[in-house]
Amino acid sequence: MISRRRRSIWNDQSVWHFAATCLVFFGVATMCWGQQFTPYERDEVQTMLKNITEEVKKHYYDPKMHGVDWDAKIREAKANVDKADSLNRGLSQIAAVLDSLNDSHTFFLSPPRPYRHDYGFRMQMIGDHCYVVRVRPGSDAETKGLKPGDEIAAVNGYAPAREDFWKMEYVYNILRPQPGLNLNVRTPSGEQRQLAVAAKMHELPAVRDITGEKIWDLVRDNEYEDHFMRVRYEEKGHDLLIVKFPLFGYSDESAILGKMRNYSAVVFDLRGNPGGSVDTLKSLLGGLFENKVKIGDRVMRSSTKLVETDSRYHPFTGKLVVLVDNKSASASEIFARVVQLEKRGVIMGDRSAGAVMEAKHYSYQLGQQRVVFYGASITDADIRMSDGQSLEHTGVVPDKVMLPTGADLAAARDPVLAQAAEMMGVKITPEEAGAMFPFEWPRE
């Protein structure tokens, strides 16, 4: 069975949403992770490979497949699956085929595992350096002395690099979660250490009961997700509103824009925002301009379509600063670039992710009694901005590049937000800015 679900401007957060949906509604796949790769499982992986690569060939936005010999790649992957000595290595061949297209929105979603997995810390590229930005209290990472502001020189022997950092996260968090990571770190004072950090794994039920009163567990989970991705505000008199916008989706754009109109200046913080809905993007951008503005052209397999802002809201006309970083992806990047191209405001922070395409989500299942769920995101359009350029692999270069240092991260300072506020005539310290939107860890 194959189902298709539209995800206009796909984002990495959707990877986790897909896995969670499978776990809640269908129960987890019963493939034997980490055990012997049985002939039956090998056949299942070959079926997954066949289903996904056929869909890519049929629906990928570029019929020339970026010059990749797609049939040759499939033959190579099939042979490698036959030689694979584990389920993980077999599934990795599917991911490798899709990765050959070098497309941020075309990737494999492997069958969900029967556990939640957490390394106990978060790392991020800032400029060309990788830093620890969060450490979960009570985690093995904290016990081993890992701290925010530590620079990560290597993970399991590999040096993080900006251009492929997302692939490292994809492999270690989605495709092949590890029982732990070996880190080479350097503290803000220059001390170098090697740490072995163990992951925490929380086993999940094979099938979740959502009948009767159990349905309220699901309701509470949905409420938790809504809370976790809510829009947050910080007000400084009537002079400045700071909007922390975590995701393009499930938000009331009219309420956000209505609140913005009460202030003479707004800092719109898109740092860490992975993207989301194109409709939300069009609405929020439309609330910044008196008239419709061209966002770009959607370049599809056999046609091109103009994409414009939605101008149904009375616009905010005050001063605007938009903050972005390496985790700002997809819709966040388009938002920032339109503001930049139209000279509507100032873009500050770090260069954005460069992950800007549109995709459809394809979900699959194998078996009847023993059901395995998996999926793929397949790009069906490129987005060409009004200047004719794509942001894919390039991202948005801020008007004012400003990066926190390791010492800033260690002291929980946010000099970027503090500087943005000062540009609007409001004085706040980096320490005050760093305390405005406390980080909230997802449940283990």
pLDDT at 437 over 80: yes
Token pair belonging to 295: 């966002």
Distance, in Å, from the CA atom of 423 to the CA atom of 419, rounded to the nearest integer, reads 6
217 assigned to some structural domain: no
Give the residue numbers spanning the domain of 19: 2-115+360-380
CATH number, domain at 122?
2.30.42.10
Residue by residue, DSSP assigns 40-105 as HHHHHHHHHHHHHHHHHHHH-S-TTGGG--HHHHHHHHHHHHHH-SSHHHHHHHHHHHHHTT--TT
pLDDT at 63 over 90: yes
Q: What's the CA gap between 389 and 337, in Å, rounded?
A: 11
Range scoring the smallest mean pLDDT among 100-109, 280-289, 347-356, 366-375: 366-375
- Please report whether residue 211 resides in a domain: no
Same domain, 90 and 8: yes
Q: Whole-prediction pTM value?
A: 0.88
pLDDT in the model for residue 311: 82
163/287 same-domain check: no
Average pLDDT value for the chain: 87
Give the per-residue pLDDT at 227.
Answer: 59
Backbone torsions φ then ψ of 50, nearest 5 degrees: -65, -50
- Mean pLDDT within 95-101: 97
Q: What is the pLDDT of residues 176-189, one digit of tens each?
A: 889 999 999 999 99
Contact status, residue 51 vs residue 2, Cβ threshold 8 Å: yes
Residue 154 has which token pair?
A: 């290597």
User: Phi first, then psi: what are they for 126, rounded to 5°?
Assistant: -125, 110
Cross-strand bridge partners of residue 196: 182
Among 244-258, 285-299, 366-380, the range of highest mean pLDDT:
285-299
- Output the pLDDT for position 103: 96
Q: Using CA atoms, how far apart are residues 290 and 281, in angstroms rounded to an integer?
A: 16
Residues 339 and 407 in one domain: yes
Region of residue 35 (phi > 0: left; psi between -120 and 50: alpha; otherwise: beta): beta
The DSSP output letter for 170 is H
Position 212 in a domain: no
Residue at 214 is within a domain: no
Other beta carbons less than 10 A from residue 150's beta carbon? 27
Q: Assess whether 166 and 257 both reside in one domain.
A: no
Question: At CB < 8 A and 24+ separation, what contacts does 70-79 make?
Answer: 73/97, 73/100, 74/49, 77/49, 77/53, 78/46, 78/49
Q: Out of 39-43, 94-98, 222-226, 266-270, which region has the weakest mean confidence (pLDDT)?
A: 222-226
Confirm whether 440 is domain-assigned: no
Could you give the 3-state DSSP secondary structure of residue 389? Answer: coil
Looking at residue 283, what is its pLDDT? 94
Please provide the DSSP assignment of 327-385 as one string: T--THHHHHHHHHHHTT-SEEEES------EEEEEEEEEE-SSS-EEEEEEEEEEEEEE
C-alpha to C-alpha distances, 281 to 21, 22, 136, nearest whole angstrom: 24, 27, 32
For residues 57 and 176, membership in a common domain is answered with no
Residues 430 and 282 in one domain: yes
Instruction: Compute the average pLDDT of residues 305-323.
Output: 93
Q: Are 287 and 339 in contact (CB under 8 A)?
A: no
Same-domain pairing of 143 and 166: yes
Q: Is residue 333 part of a domain?
A: yes
C-alpha–C-alpha distance, residues 404 and 412, integer Å: 10
287: Cα separation from own chain's centroid: 25
User: 280 and 185 in one domain?
Assistant: no
Task: Give 440 or 114, the one with higher predicted confidence.
Answer: 440
Q: Are residues 16 and 71 in the same domain?
A: yes
* Beta bridge partner(s), residue 195: 183
Region 352-378: mean pLDDT is 90
- Whether 281 shows a pLDDT value over 90: the answer reads yes
What angle do the packed helices 70-83 and 39-59 form, to 10 degrees? 170
CB count, 10 Å around CB of 230? 14
Judge whether 138 lies within some domain. Answer: yes
Task: Judge residue 343's burial from the number of C-beta atoms within 10 Å of its C-beta, 0-12 exposed, 13-18 middle, 19 or more buried.
Answer: exposed
Residue 25: pLDDT band by 50, 70, 90 thresholds?
Answer: very low
Encoding tokens for residue 93? Answer: 């061949």
Angle at 334 between CA 238 and CA 151, to 5 degrees: 85
pLDDT computed for residue 206 by the predictor: 54
The CATH code of the domain that includes 348 is 3.90.226.10
Task: Return the pLDDT at 229.
Answer: 76
How many Å apart are CA 252 and CA 47, to the nearest integer?
Answer: 42
Least confident of 199-203, 213-217, 301-305: 213-217
CATH code of the domain in which 83 resides: 3.30.750
* In a domain? residue 198: yes
366 lies in the same domain as 351 = no
In the predicted structure, residue 20 carries a pLDDT above the cut 90: no
What percentage of the chain reaches a pLDDT higher than 90? 73
Angle at 200 between CA 198 and CA 203, to 5 degrees: 145
The rounded Cα 339 to chain-centroid distance in angstroms is 21
Longest dimension (CA), the chain: 67
> What phi, psi does 385 have (nearest 5°)?
-70, 175
Residue 1 has pLDDT above 50, yes or no: no
Greater confidence (221 vs 391) lies with 391
Do 193 and 229 lie in one domain? The reply is no
Residue that is last in its domain, among 140, 172, 203: 203
Q: State whether 301 and 405 are in the same domain.
A: yes
DSSP symbol at 263 = S
User: What total of structural domains would you count in the chain?
Assistant: 3
Could you give the CA distance from residue 228 to residue 244 in angstroms, rounded to a whole number?
12
